Amino acid sequence: MMRIAIIGTGNVAWQFANAFREKHNVEFIYGRNAKKAEQLAQSVEAAFSTSFNQIPRDLDLYLIAISDDQIESVAGQIPEVSGIVAHTSGSVDLTVIPHEKSGVFYPLQTLSKEKVVDWKKVPLCVESQHAESLKALTELGSDLSKNVQQIDSQQRRAIHLAAVFACNFSNHMMANAQELLRESELDFSILKPLIEETVEKALEVGPDNAQTGPAIRGDEKTLEKHQNLLENHARLLEIYNLVSQSIQDTRHE
């Protein structure tokens, strides 16, 4: 059982604070905003404060779950403590935490306060230069998830960037489709079965093996038809041409 402080009161802080409770003691919440800190503290029956000085020094883990660009400054204000000081970010280096037992505990999932998380499936990426801390973070991760991986800062950066392509950019491609359908007074839902099948296949055989469509087939006639349809959509035409070219460039020979 670990004694834990959560630094932060956002979505990730809420989700972790509640998830840890099952097997561990969440004893303290730090937050800039007193009201938010109190709310989270009440929900997990912990103490709280808006002052770094009030943070108890003898806990096992201080988990910094705040926005990426605040982590370095906040970590610098956490006093010397006996336990591990770890952040939860995908894009911030381990080295921004000045404490000896520094670590990372990064959940590779999009989290909101409202939606219940199936922690079993969430990849938890842990990192520490301190062997004992790495072991402790790995065990803590295993209490939540079946998928705990030791990932260094360089790999974590790659994962974060890859997630932008695979998720943020995919979503934007769906938004572009929605825009095109709207203009023809069609509902986006007509694409639902095709999207589901596409993603299922990509996850099953790998997206490199699952590519279909006119670009990979080299179907110039259809590409030209589509370009004509997008004549008055400069933004979409530019994306269409660049992504089609990229698909053709990466085609298996």
> Which residues 133-162 are close enough to bind a second copy by CB under 8 A?
147, 149, 151, 154-155, 157-159, 161-162
Compare residues 47 and 202 and give the one whose CB is closer to a second copy: 202
Sign of CA dihedral 67, 72, 76, 82: positive
Q: Assess contact for 93 and 72: CB atoms under 8 A.
A: no
Count of CA atoms in the C-beta half-sphere (13 A) of 125: 22
Reported for 163-170, long-range contacts at CB under 8 A and 24+ positions apart, including other chains, are: 163/90, 163/108, 167/110
92 burial (CB, 10 Å; 0-12 / 13-18 / 19+) is buried
86-105 binders of a second copy (CB under 8 A): 91
204-243 binders of a second copy (CB under 8 A): 206-208, 210-216, 219, 221-222, 225-226, 229-230, 235-236, 238-240, 242-243
Compare residues 79 and 218 and give the one whose CB is closer to a second copy: 218
d(CA 28, CA 6): 6
Least separation in angstroms between CB 237 and a second copy: 11
Least separation in angstroms between CB 208 and a second copy: 5
Question: In the chain, what is the greatest distance between 2 CA atoms, to the nearest angstrom?
Answer: 69
Compare residues 38 and 143 and give the one whose CB is closer to a second copy: 143
Compare residues 44 and 125 and give the one whose CB is closer to a second copy: 125
Strand (E) positions, 37-107?
47-49, 61-64, 84-87, 102-107
Among 135, 199, 218, 224, binds a second copy (CB under 8 A): 199
H or E stretch covering 17: helix 11-20
28-47 binders of a second copy (CB under 8 A): none
For residue 182, what are its two tokens? 């709207």
104-123 binders of a second copy (CB under 8 A): 108-110, 121-123
Least separation in angstroms between CB 39 and a second copy: 24
How big is the site for a second copy, counted in residues (CB under 8 A)?
Answer: 85
10-29 binders of a second copy (CB under 8 A): none
Q: Assess contact for 4 and 63: CB atoms under 8 A.
A: yes
Among 34, 113, 173, 218, binds a second copy (CB under 8 A): 173
184 binds a second copy (CB under 8 A): yes
Among 196, 218, 232, 252, binds a second copy (CB under 8 A): 196
